Structure 1
Amino acid sequence: MPLLHISTSAPPAEESKRAELLKGLSALVARLLGKPESYVMISLAARADMSFAGSIAPACYAELKNVGTMSPGQTENLSKVLCQELSRGLGVP
């Protein structure tokens, strides 16, 4: 079961925006991994205390767990696409 766990210090968006982000990420992870969306779980923890590069500006940490192996190219593409989506959806750089 693929699991994308996201922690962010960004303030949570309104409920409808969070739901839209979660649904979009679920579909995206399923597509990128080639797995049924019914197996995908997305976890979003907002308002986490975080520091990155000595700054307490809004930040995000995402961890993707997956059964099976991924090539370096797949890993690079997943990282790029997920970071773009998280930046757009959470407003973090």
Structure 2
Amino acid sequence: MPHFRLETNIPKSKVTVDFLKQTTALMAKALGKPESYCVVTVIPDLPAVWGGSSEPCGTATLMSIGKLGVEENKKHAAALHDHIEKNLGIPRNRLYITFVDEDAANVGYNGTTFHEIFGGK
């Protein structure tokens, strides 16, 4: 159920399958969630300017059911910023990440919601 979505002005050619797989594994480990539930999407080639510059930049959202909060998000931000800067060349100071701690009843999967999958907890 965790989903990391990155919207960026970097070219599609820089977004490799290996990057997507590595990001999925990083998310699963950081959030303590099964990798089989983790999704990473990158929307490249967007016209974007940050502070008047068209150098690499982006915005991202990490949605999860739980495992997000004040202290957790600091760790997630550090890991994701490092990973993205190293692999995609987007500097840490040119990427916002929004964290969304979604309620299990608001995330659908396989014809139901995670609220039901988790036994109504």
TM-score by length of 2: 0.70
- AA of the residue aligned to 1:88: K
**What RMSD in Å do the two structures reach over aligned CA positions?**
1.4
Percent identical across equivalent pairs? 29
How far off its partner does 1:8 sit? Answer: 1.1
Q: Which has the higher contact order (CA 8 A, sep 6+)?
A: 1
The alpha carbon displacement at 1:36 in A equals: 0.2
Distance 1:69 1:77 in 2: 11
Report the Cα distance in structure 2 between the residues aligned to 1:32 and 1:60, rounded to whole angstroms: 21
| More strand by percentage | 2
Query: Which blocks of at least 5 consecutive residues in structure 2 are unaligned?
Result: 92-121
Comparing 54-63 and 38-47, the one that deviates more: 54-63
Correspondent of 1:27 among 25, 28, 47: 25
What is the rounded CA distance, in whole Å, between the counterparts of 1:59 and 1:27 in structure 2?
Answer: 23
Does 1:12 pair with 2:20?
no
* Distance (Å, rounded) in 1 between the aligned partners of 2:68 and 2:5: 18
Paired amino acid for 1:50:
A
Q: Give the length in aligned residue pairs.
A: 91
Larger radius of gyration: 2
Q: How far apart, in 2, do the equivalents of 1:22 and 1:72 lie?
A: 26
Paired residues of 2:31 and 2:67 also in contact (CA < 8 A): no
Name the TM-score, length of structure 1 as normaliser: 0.89
Structure 1 unaligned blocks of 5 or more: none
